[in-house]
Amino acid sequence: MNVFKLLLKGIYSPKDIAKARFTGIGKAILFIFILSIIAAVPQGYHMSQEISNAMSGFQHVIKKDLPDFSIEKGKLQADQSEPIEKEENGITIFFDPAEKIKASELESKQTAIALIKEKAVIAIDGQMTDIPYQLLGGTLTKDELARVTNQNQAIIIPVICVLLYLSTAALMFISATFLAMLGTFIKRMQQKELSFQMLWKLSAYSLTLTTVFFAIMSALNTPVANSFLLNWVINFIFLYLVVKEIPAKHKPLVKN
């Protein structure tokens, strides 16, 4: 059974997935990478849109609403002691050379960019990424920073999408491994003869239903209540049904 048939069967057929325990480990690993693409594409699209809007708004605010400043030797220099907060294109932009704002203020915003003393901070849905000014190199004025941001937009978005895919793949591998560990209890309850490698492969294929479901919800930009719990309950039940389809180990006959 090729990976695309496994992808289809993994949505609705525990019986067919149970037969896949004899497939090679390489196919299961490839399957995880394919699931990662399915999971990452909707997120990557929405994130790209948010980043593009954020950077456009950021450039506008830099040019029109912020006082003159420069970045020298990795530090933000400006004659401004109080934080400035501006809204543009649905994002919040903070300018705070004295670094008075708290991380909780950034985390509470859906999309935010903060210029603080030694770094820029990008916050999207509570996830914060730090960009130290040292990475920019040399000295930058306000206008130069706006120009650099515009020039690097075509590079920043693909890089972030690649990082998103890699982090999604890593999470998929961790999820498959953890589900396989839960599978050891399932096989004992059902008295099934399965190696951990077989359980890991079955666990990888059992992630299909939740991955496809949450990818569709993400593409529709529709939040799912208690998504973490729902994800693991469905994965556990699906793996339970898969293991149930496997014949029980035979007990040795007792001779009289």
Q: What mean pLDDT is predicted for residues 11-25?
A: 93
Q: Delimit the domains of the chain by residue range.
A: 3-44+162-244, 61-142
pTM of the model as a whole? 0.75
Query: Please, are residues 11 and 239 in contact by the beta-carbon 8 Å criterion?
Result: no
Please give the structure tokens belonging to residue 112. Answer: 């935010």
Per-residue model confidence as pLDDT tens digits over 20-54: 999 999 999 999 999 999 999 999 998 888 888 87
CB-based contacts of 86-92 (< 8 A; 24+ apart in sequence): 86/61, 88/57, 88/58, 88/60, 88/61, 89/53, 89/54, 89/56, 89/57, 89/60, 90/53, 90/57, 91/50, 91/53, 91/54, 91/57, 91/58
Ramachandran assignment for 115, one of left (phi > 0), alpha (psi -120 to 50 degrees), beta (any other): beta
Per-residue model confidence as pLDDT tens digits over 175-217: 999 999 999 999 999 988 899 999 999 999 999 999 999 999 9
The reported pLDDT for the residue numbered 149 is: 78
